[in-house]
Amino acid sequence: MERKFMKGNEALAEAAVRAGCRFFAGYPITPQNEIPEYLSRRMPEVGGTFVQGESEVASINMVIGSAYTGTRAMTSTSGPGLSLMCEGLSSLAGYGFPAVIMDVMRGGPGTGSIQAAQADYLMLTRGPGHGGFKALVYAPADLQEAVDLTGKAFDKAWEYKNPVFVAMDGCIGSMMEVVELPETRSFEREEFPIYSTTRFGQVDPKRRLSTSMIISEPEQEKWNFIIAEKWAEMERKECMVEEYLTEDAELVIVAYGTSARIAKAAIDQLREEGRRVGMIRPVTIWPFPYDSIRKLDSSVTKKLFCLELSVPVQLIQDVQIGAEGRFEIETYGRTAGQIYTTDDVTEKLRGMMK
């Protein structure tokens, strides 16, 4: 292990290289620009390829082509760029191709603000693109977790032959912390990956042609059932969550990313005052940890509190599903780089617990 003091975006980029990534295509957009900037220097050093695409649309399609060769490939973007990539993301899932997508979130809707926010939650967790596809979405709360989850994202993308997201807000992308970097791993490139369409004779090895459109309707439906079961398996097996002091908590915060860091500091302060507050932190925002909310004892826990850097709040939709009407739910959201402080959160919680 190597310990380094690094900026979040650069730590993510280095973690990708050490996880075997050898192809990157992307287009500049704040607040993730340090990722392509770093990889433009780093990729040639490890025999990889860096391409600054002419757009996000071009970049995601280059990633599709690279993934088809079996190369570990990724791109990075932020909200407006992610919107432009939607057709390509759905195509990745439809083909059954693996890739990693880094989304360093900013404000919205529209062009919005270039400052940190958590505004892409619904787009990421509902499948950003047509066709109802699903993808794992990791949401780290600090830089070490971002490094660790980046390596995991590449492994899971190739295990499930599916795109995987690492979603951070711009605060985590911009902050600096000491991280432990893993050793660089080698990854054998698959010459002709056996993906979805090979099951139906759609790959021509001479032309290296693949398509997610299967002309026979019964065969297309059959393939849809196969990949739907894959996504169901991901939902059963891949949910990750941190439950912090929830056993006796009268009030439970649900938060992820930077919001969870702030929430944890507020909880520690309120616990010193004798107030029973806890937190459920989704590490994967898809699959969402509904069971962590469902198992809360409603005779002990009286309220849930969604804390999120988004206006309007988005996380509440999943919290409501897990709560099943058993708890009162309140929300607190900010956006466009307006970050709540620990004192802001503690004051709000004190008021809720009167």
Tell me the pLDDT of the chain (354 aa) as tens digits. 799 999 999 999 999 999 999 999 999 999 999 999 999 999 999 999 999 999 999 999 999 999 888 899 999 999 999 999 999 999 999 888 899 999 999 998 988 888 999 999 999 999 899 999 999 999 999 999 999 999 999 999 999 999 999 999 999 999 999 999 999 987 766 654 444 444 444 455 555 555 666 656 777 788 888 889 999 999 999 999 999 999 999 999 999 999 999 999 999 999 999 999 999 999 999 999 999 999 999 999 999 999 999 999 999 999 999 999 999 999 999 998 899 999 999 999 999 987
Polymer length in residues for the chain: 354
Is the whole model's pTM more than 0.85, yes or no?
A: yes
Instruction: List, in order of start, the domains of the chain with CATH numbers.
Output: 2-237 (3.40.50.970), 241-352 (3.40.50.920)
Instruction: Give CA–CA dist 219/10, Å, rounded.
Output: 44
Cα torsion through 272, 278, 279, 280, rounded to 10: 160
Instruction: Give CA–CA dist 140/150, Å, rounded.
Output: 9
Instruction: Give CA–CA dist 85/73, Å, rounded.
Output: 15
Q: What number of other Cβ atoms are within 10 A of residue 230's Cβ?
A: 17
Is the link from the previous residue into 98 a cis peptide, with omega within 30 of 0? no
* Residue pair 105/167 in contact by the 8 Å Cβ criterion: yes
